[in-house]
Amino acid sequence: MSAALAEVKQELGPGAVILQARSFKKNRWLGLRRQEVFEITAGRDARGAARPQRQPAARPAAAMPMPVKPAAEPQRHLLESPVAQNAAMNGIFQEVSGLKTMLQELVVNINRTKCPPQIPEELYAYYSQLIENQVAEGLASDMIKTLQKQMRPEHIRQADFVRSKLAEQIEKHLPAAGPIVRTKTSGPHVVALIGPTGVGKTTTLAKLAANLKLREKRRVGLITLDTYRIAAIDQLKKYADILGSPLRVVSTSEDLVAAVRSMQDCEYILIDTAGRSPKDALKLSELKGLLAAVNPDEVHLVLSSTSSQKCVELAITKFGEVRVDKIIFTKLDEAAHVGVVLNVIHKVNKTLSYVTTGQNVPDDIEVGEPRRLAQLILAQPGRQLIMEKLQ
């Protein structure tokens, strides 16, 4: 606001009269950035000698705040009108709150990227890269320390060499399960997907079914235990129809056993489940009972890479009570940071089976590749970059 007032003064001279002053937020860049706009309506004198002029002054809200100078003599009557004083106060308020936000961000950044004493300075940039991608601090510093032990001092300055060694470290902590493969010679290979609501279980199941059926020419049967929402059944029915695969909708253990038995000629049976909330103990025990009745060959826990670490850990603890063999991470295309995938796989000591990278059935799914994920973790954080890397 003080910058806008100075512009008014420069444009209209010290005799300028402020008619109106306001500030508002405006969406820029397709709504991605909000910019604060200050608008002052001023005239040359109050008797209407000059036509009032609008004088907008815009600057990004996050820019360095302007110092508010005490009013110089010629400016005094400008600032003395109540509207201008109000506007100036508003300006000061906004500048102070901008400063406060900046300070908070600074403190968070300092804390987050504080270099632990054991990390050698030459490797600090790599450590900070891991932290930026939300790799857990303990894991990040362990990997950097191992890296340091592995390298001769003259190699530390060779960026490509350090990156490839670090990628190896990440890969070691990201064990992969490989794709779903039927090893038995008779009877169906039964795979169940479990996990919280909305993570993408049904979509992922459709992708898996379509790939098995269309690319590998396998006989695939589908079963859903999600009888809570009619829309959920319709969603899977649509895919089953397209694939020409049988679909059974069941809600009891007996029906589930019967459904599996009715699909004995299939090479694969994929079981979709309702997205029970991890807090819903009763329904989880029900799910556990249902799955125990058919004892699937594989149970994959489906997690979204857009969820917080805390949320993902809660899901793992709870669904662990049901049964978890492998982990699928969905929505990598939407995740700003992929460190959570590494943290989780490392922590729970399970293998990563698939990652999904979009809503398209059947294309947006990949077998979990430690090397690819390591590259993503070592890339600069940011969604665009992740998408570029995945394409």
Ligand X SMILES: Nc1nc2c(ncn2[C@@H]2O[C@H](COP(=O)(O)OP(=O)(O)O)[C@@H](O)[C@H]2O)c(=O)[nH]1
Binding site for ligand X (CB under 6 A): 197-203, 275, 330-331, 333-334, 356-359, 364
- Residue 131 CA to residue 340 CA, distance in Å, equals 11
Q: Are 171 and 371 in contact (CB under 8 A)?
A: yes
Question: Which of 280, 333, 281, 326 is CA-nearest to residue 299?
Answer: 326
Which whole-number Å values give the CA distances from 185 to 189, 270, 296, 307, in the listed order? 10, 18, 16, 39
Residue 210: both structure tokens together: 């379509």
Q: How many residues bind Mg ion (CB under 5 A)?
A: 3
By the rule CB under 5 A, 273 interacts with Mg ion: no
Residue 328: both structure tokens together: 């699928």
* Minimum CB distance to ligand X, residue 205 (Å): 8
201 or 300: whose CB is closer to ligand X?
Answer: 201
Instruction: Pick what 331 binds: Mg ion, ligand X, none; C-beta below 5 to 8 Å, kind-dependent.
Output: ligand X
195 or 381: whose CB is closer to ligand X?
Answer: 195
Q: What DSSP string runs through 67-121?
A: P-PPPPGGGHHHHHSHHHHHHHHHHHHHHHHHHHHHHHHHHHHHHHHPPPTTS-G
- Name the DSSP class of 215: I
Contact track, Mg ion, 182-201, x by CB under 5 A = -------------------x
* Minimum CB distance to ligand X, residue 165 (Å): 31
129 or 202: whose CB is closer to ligand X?
Answer: 202
* Minimum CB distance to ligand X, residue 341 (Å): 13
135 or 199: whose CB is closer to ligand X?
Answer: 199
Instruction: Pick what 150 binds: ligand X, Mg ion, none; C-beta below 5 to 8 Å, kind-dependent.
Output: none
121 or 234: whose CB is closer to Mg ion?
Answer: 234
Residues 223-252 binding Mg ion (CB under 5 A) are 232
**Site for Mg ion (CB under 5 A): which residue of 2, 141, 202, 306?**
202
- Residue 232 CA to residue 211 CA, distance in Å, equals 21
* Minimum CB distance to Mg ion, residue 232 (Å): 5
* Minimum CB distance to ligand X, residue 287 (Å): 13
- CB within 8 Å of 225: residues ≥ 6 apart: 250, 251, 256, 271, 272, 273, 274, 287, 290
Residues 68-127 binding Mg ion (CB under 5 A) are none
Instruction: Pick what 364 binds: Mg ion, ligand X, none; C-beta below 5 to 8 Å, kind-dependent.
Output: ligand X
3-state helix/strand/coil string of 278-326: CCCHHHHHHHHHHHHHHCCCEEEEEEECCCCHHHHHHHHHHHHCCCCCE
* Minimum CB distance to ligand X, residue 308 (Å): 17
20 or 308: whose CB is closer to ligand X?
Answer: 308
Please name every residue paired with 330 in a beta bridge, in sequence order, or none if there are none: 304
Residue 231: both structure tokens together: 């829309």
* Minimum CB distance to Mg ion, residue 358 (Å): 17
